[in-house]
């Protein structure tokens, strides 16, 4: 095949790749017709998608801080797609605001969410991290396959790459992703790993505990033993869809999840913290309403405590 012909097939393959990003069914059918006419076309298309998948934000030259193009663009942009907005915010953070004071060198960046705020951060390569409220995630510009969950909760949806396993560090804990989606909670000395899809390996160099979809690993205290459990993958990281789901899980856990998603602490009376909860609750309608509705379903009482809430058994009517 001549080089010229090859170049023209490649140009066509790129055009198809562009067209198909938001392609309708008719576009895909036309694409099939194009492919079927010459087997070399599928190969050319493979090359394009493979090169595209390997692109990451790190591959792009840094934008100068005085470059006014993106600012101009932002001003005119209609924020039609929610995740587009989140992605933009995250990228601007990554590109414009280095956090050299983190101590790990100028290549590390922090992406953080305020209490009650959620945000998705594309990591390039098709990988994605969704941050729940009150979360601090540290990324490394030189190493796109690394993240540190300093605090909070995040769901990682990672593209598998055997040449570079994705490594997540949380406190003293280390998790290797084996091409997967998983949710991670890191609060003080507590750690919870929940695998939605694929597999991860906890503490790969020592304990090397492999977890697959529907498996969870919890550590409740500093130096504590990792406890492996199960959870319906559908129920994991429900906060991303505004709904928390549980099957026989302790109230105390539900309260912590609620607190992170609503942006203010929810505490539970020790007398009922081991009580289990099954079912799902919507996070819509304002934090106060969510907590009140939840407590009412359980037949419990809720009071304001500090900037958050406290759930307790109904106080016995005047003794």
Partner 1 sequence: MNEIGSTPAGGLLRAALLEHRAALLRYLIARRVPPEEAEDVLQDLVVKLENHKSGPVAEPRAYLYRMAENLLLDRIRSDGRRRGREQAWVAARAGAALDADDRPTAEEILIARERLALVSAALAGLPERTLFVFRRYRIEGVPQREIAAELGISLSAVEKHLQKAYQVVVEARQKLDAENAGPQRPIEAEGQ
Is residue 245 close enough to count as binding partner 1 by CB under 8 A? Answer: yes
In the numeric block, which tokens belong to residue 49?
A: 């998608």
Among 8, 71, 78, 156, binds partner 1 (CB under 8 A): 78
Residue 273's closest CA among 316, 229, 227, 311? 311
C-beta of residue 152 within 8 angstroms of C-beta of residue 129? no
Question: Is residue 176 close enough to count as binding partner 1 by CB under 8 A?
Answer: yes
Residue among 23, 171, 226, 250 that touches partner 1 (CB under 8 A) = 23
Q: Edge to edge, what strands does the sheet with 301-305 contain?
A: 266-268, 308-312, 301-305
Q: Could you say whether residue 272 binds partner 1 (CB under 8 A)?
A: no
Distance CA 67, CA 187 (A): 38
φ, ψ (nearest 5 deg) of residue 176: -100, 130
Binding mask 214-233 for partner 1 (x = CB under 8 A): ------------------xx
Question: Binding residue for partner 1 (CB under 8 A) from 281, 287, 291, 311?
Answer: 281
Applying the rule CB under 8 A, the residues between 29 and 68 that interact with partner 1 are 29, 31-32, 35-36, 39-40, 42-61, 63
In this chain, which of 98, 165, 171, 250 binds partner 1, going by CB under 8 A? 165
Which of 25, 206, 248, 317 binds partner 1 (CB under 8 A)? It is 25
Q: In terms of Cα–Cα distance, which of 158, 196, 192 is closest to 177?
A: 158
With CB under 8 A as the contact rule, which of the stretches 76-84, 283-291, 301-309, 311-319 interacts with partner 1? 76-84
According to the binding rule CB under 8 A, does residue 111 interact with partner 1? no
Residue that has been written with the tokens 């055997």 in this structure: 162
Which of residues 136, 173, 247, 253 is near partner 1 by CB under 8 A? 247
Contact 119, 111 (CB under 8 A): yes
122 binds partner 1 (CB under 8 A): yes
Identify which of residues 224 and 297 has a Cβ nearer to partner 1 in the complex: 297
Binding mask 193-212 for partner 1 (x = CB under 8 A): ---xx------x--------
Q: How far is the CB of 189 from partner 1 (least distance, A)?
A: 28
Sole window of 82-90, 130-138, 220-228, 254-262 interacting with partner 1 (rule: CB under 8 A): 82-90
CA distance 160 to 163: 9
């Amino acid at each position: 095949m001549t080089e010229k012909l090859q170049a023209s097939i490649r140009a066509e393959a790129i055009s198809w790749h562009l067209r198909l990003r938001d392609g309708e069914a008719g576009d895909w059918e036309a694409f099939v017709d194009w492919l079927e006419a010459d087997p070399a076309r599928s190969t050319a298309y493979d090359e394009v998608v493979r090169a595209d998948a390997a692109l990451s934000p790190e591959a792009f030259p840094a934008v100068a801080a005085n470059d006014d193009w993106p600012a101009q663009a932002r001003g005119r942009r209609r924020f039609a797609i929610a995740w587009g907005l989140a992605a933009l915010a995250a990228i601007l953070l990554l590109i414009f605001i280095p956090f050299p004071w983190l101590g790990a060198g100028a290549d590390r960046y922090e992406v953080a969410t305020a209490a009650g705020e959620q945000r998705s951060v594309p990591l390039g390569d098709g990988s994605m991290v969704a941050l729940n409220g009150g979360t601090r995630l540290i990324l490394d510009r030189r190493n796109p396959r690394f993240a540190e969950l300093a605090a909070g909760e995040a769901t990682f949806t990672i593209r598998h790459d055997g040449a570079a396993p994705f490594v997540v560090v949380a406190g003293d804990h280390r998790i290797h992703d084996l091409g997967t989606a998983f949710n991670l909670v890191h609060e003080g000395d507590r750690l919870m790993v929940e695998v939605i899809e694929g597999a991860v390996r906890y503490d790969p160099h020592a304990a090397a505990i492999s977890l697959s979809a529907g498996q969870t690993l919890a550590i409740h205290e500093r130096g504590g033993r990792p406890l492996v459990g199960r959870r319906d993958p559908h129920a994991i990281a429900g906060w991303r869809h505004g709904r928390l789901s549980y099957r026989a899980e302790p109230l105390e856990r539900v309260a912590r999840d609620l607190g992170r998603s609503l942006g203010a602490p929810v505490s539970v009376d020790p007398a009922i913290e081991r009580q289990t909860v099954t079912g799902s609750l919507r996070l819509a309608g304002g934090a106060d309403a969510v907590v009140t509705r939840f407590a009412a379903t359980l037949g419990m009482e809720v009071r304001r405590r500090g900037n958050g809430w406290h759930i307790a058994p109904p106080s016995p009517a005047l003794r």
